[in-house]
Amino acid sequence: MAKTEVILTHNIVNLGGESDQVKVAAGYARNYLFPQGLAIPLTAANKRRLESLKQRRAEREAHDLNTMTELAKSLSKLICVVTVKTGEDGKMFGAVTAGTIADQLKTQFDVALDKRKIHLEHPIRALGEHDVELRLHADVVTKVKVRVDSSTPAPAVVDAAPAAEGRREEHRTEKRGRRTEASPEKSEKVEKAEAGEKRAKGEKPGRSERPARGEKAPRTKSE
């Protein structure tokens, strides 16, 4: 296949930038590069345009560098949220890819980023936060935080604390009721004990301390 040498007037991915002299297929140059104004033939007359092309390239690259540097500062402060479906065990259905992240950056922050600049060694397959590397420029590399959330509602958790507290309160009330029921019997025993002590000292018992009809009074030592 015949080759021809051309001077690129625009940046072409995987081929070169402005002012680069490259060899391409003659048909490719004739049918695509020249008609689109992306390159010019390498001639003595066209070589004189190289300086202006180089200057334009330097200006473009400086602008790109500044733009990507500012973009890197902004992206490093953002949290890109990706919502996915999960099973009951919390495992994701599918994975989060560079294309997914690029779509969410556009949707959430209106940032148009080529997915090829998003560097993932492996697709994300776990919920939580992940630091994803962005190669925005040959001299600009940053990271963006990607948080993967589940769209599946979490199972309801029954709070057993109120029920347990109710049972404890019921138990305390029951114990107080038992003590209340037992108190009259205890007071009667106390009164009898006090009456016995008074008789032992020779004191007359009070009305409430006197023995009931048909009940013998306890003997004292003097008797």
Where in the chain are the domains? 3-69, 74-150
Residues in the chain: 223
The enclosing H or E element of 133 equals: strand 128-137
Show pLDDT as tens, one digit a residue, over the chain (223 residues). 689 999 999 889 889 988 899 999 999 999 999 999 999 998 888 888 888 888 888 999 999 999 999 999 999 999 999 999 998 887 898 899 999 999 999 999 999 999 999 999 999 999 999 999 999 998 999 999 999 999 887 665 555 556 566 666 666 666 666 555 545 555 566 566 666 666 665 655 555 445 555 555 555 444 4
Question: Rounded to whole angstroms, how far apart are CA atoms 145 and 156?
Answer: 29
| Architecture of the domain whose range is 74-150 | Roll (3.10)
H-helix segments, 76-160 = 98-109
Q: If you classify domain 3-69 with CATH, what class do you get?
A: alpha beta
